[in-house]
Amino acid sequence: MNINYLEANFFKVLSHPIRIEILNILKNRGRYVCDITKLIKETQPQISRNLTVLKQAGLVVYEKKGTRVCYKVKDNNIFKLLDIAKSILRRQYEEVSSLL
């Protein structure tokens, strides 16, 4: 597979705001699906679908604890990437704001 294709798919996974929000919620510790659902205020099926996408992309891992499932971030380097993206967006916003 072409590396450009893999990179494009990786960023496609990050292209949904709920997935970014889930990652931010998982930043400091693992969370149960029910907790993520309450924090994001979306339906449980919606959260589960997005967690599945993150899991398939290798960004999160999970552990079953009885009937509950706890998710956590697999590699904290994802937050470096998200911080860089925020920095770029902040700079772009400041440039546009200065023109107005």
CB-based contact 27:73 (threshold 8 Å): yes
Instruction: Provide φ and ψ at 27, rounded to 5°.
Output: -55, -45
Listed in sequence order, the residues at least 6 apart from 91 whose beta carbon sits closer than 8 Å to its beta carbon are none
pLDDT at residue 63 tops 80: yes
What pLDDT score was predicted for residue 81? 95
For 8-26, the pLDDT digits (tens) are 999 999 999 999 999 999 9
pLDDT at residue 100 tops 90: no
Specify the pTM: 0.88
Q: What is the domain partition of the chain in residue ranges? A: 3-74
Specify whether the backbone of 23 is left (phi greater than 0), alpha (psi in -120 to 50) or beta: alpha
Assess if CATH 1.10.10.10 describes domain 3-74.
yes
